[in-house]
């Protein structure tokens, strides 16, 4: 059902599903908590979103780098698939970007039934911008395609969430795996696109 809706309505429906995003079991209540949607996100033009990102991206990169995760090393040099940061209701009302490493060369053109090769990494960084103009780096959301058979219950996708200071929130293949099990549950809605939602149409870069 959800799957059919998602396909028909695209991301608009995913936005109305944002109630899914907060999960039981998390305990943090500050705006550092990437699960809790911020209440008053600013409504930014693409130009303004780009400006905020430009001023924060260095700090964001340094923060995530503290996690020392090889899979996202230098992710800001990877192909970027959106023309400006866009609000992701499903990732806490934060402004996000969708990067994919070069192994994931078919991420942008994936047809129904096709899959991304093992070694593909999708990295989504995020920032908070409130309507008062306060900005902070947000969490980093990562999907890594593992070799076939490594994680059958997640169709060989590994999900990782890294906090802005580089601390690990959870990794389905290791630290606090249950805390990030909900990632795949939602991404299952787009199983036919190898569990990737891709970028909202109005933010896609021309191929
Ligand atoms: C309630 C649904 C939902 C949950 C839960 C969710 N996501 Fe997503 N995810 C989406 C949607 C919708 C998109 C595409 C739009 C966007 O970027 O927000 C997406 C996009 C992504 C992308 C870019 C790749 C792509 O095209 O799908 C990554 C990476 C990602 N999510 C990682 C995660 C991780 C890691 C978690 C758990 C910490 C998570 N997601 C939890 C719905 C969800």
Give the integer Cα–Cα distance in Å for 56 and 205.
21
How far apart are the two ends of the chain, measured CA to CA in Å?
A: 30
Question: Quick one: pLDDT at residue 124?
Answer: 97
Distance CA 134, CA 123 (A): 24
Burial 79-90, CB ≥16 within 10 A → b, else e: eebbebbbbbbb
The stretch 56-70 carries a mean pLDDT of 97
Q: What is the arithmetic mean of pLDDT over 177-192?
A: 97
Give 194 or 131, the one with higher predicted confidence.
194
- pLDDT of the residue at 100: 98
Q: What value does the mean pLDDT take over residues 44-61?
A: 96
Q: Indicate if the pLDDT at residue 8 is higher than 50.
A: no
**Ligand 1: centre distance to CA 91 (Å):** 7
Ligand 1: atom nearest CA of 159 is 35
Q: Is the pLDDT of residue 203 over 60?
A: yes
Q: Closest ligand 1 atom, CA of 160? A: 35
95 lines ligand 1 (CB under 6 A): no
Mean pLDDT to the nearest integer, 123-134: 91
| CA nearest to 61, candidates 123, 154, 130 | 123
In this model, does residue 85 exceed pLDDT 60?
yes
Return the residue whose CA atom lies nearest to atom 13 of ligand 1. 197
What's the pLDDT score for residue 40?
79
φ, ψ (nearest 5 deg) of residue 175: -55, 125
Residue 25, judged by CB atoms within 10 A of its CB (0-12, 13-18, 19+), counts as: exposed
19 pLDDT higher than 90: no
Pocket test for ligand 1, best of 186, 190, 198 (most atoms within 8 A of CB): 186
pLDDT at residue 139, as a whole number:
96
- Please compute the mean of the pLDDT values over residues 37-66 and round it to a whole number: 91
Look at 87 and 16; give whichever has higher pLDDT: 87
pLDDT given at position 86: 96
**pLDDT tier, 207 (very low <50, low <70, confident <90, very high otherwise):** low
């Amino acid at each position: 059902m959800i799957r059919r809706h998602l396909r028909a309505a695209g991301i608009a429906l995913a936005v109305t599903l944002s109630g899914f995003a907060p999960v039981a079991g998390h305990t943090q209540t500050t705006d550092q908590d990437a699960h809790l949607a911020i209440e008053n996100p600013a409504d930014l033009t693409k130009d303004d979103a780009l400006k905020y990102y430009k001023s924060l991206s260095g700090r964001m990169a340094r923060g995530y780098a503290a996690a020392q995760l090889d899979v996202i090393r230098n992710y800001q040099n990877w192909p970027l698939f959106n023309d400006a940061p866009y609000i992701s209701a499903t990732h806490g009302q934060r402004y996000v970007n969708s990067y994919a490493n070069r192994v994931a060369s078919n991420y942008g053109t994936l047809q129904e039934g096709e899959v991304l090769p093992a070694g593909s990494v999708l990295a989504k960084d995020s920032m908070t911008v409130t309507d008062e103009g306060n900005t902070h780096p947000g969490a980093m959301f990562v999907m890594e395609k593992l070799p076939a058979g490594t994680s059958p219950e997640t169709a060989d996708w590994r999900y990782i969430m890294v906090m802005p200071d580089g601390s690990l929130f959870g990794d389905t293949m290791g630290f606090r795996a249950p805390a990030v099990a909900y990632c795949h549950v939602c991404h299952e809605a787009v199983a036919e696109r190898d569990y990737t939602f891709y970028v909202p149409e109005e933010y896609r870069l021309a191929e």
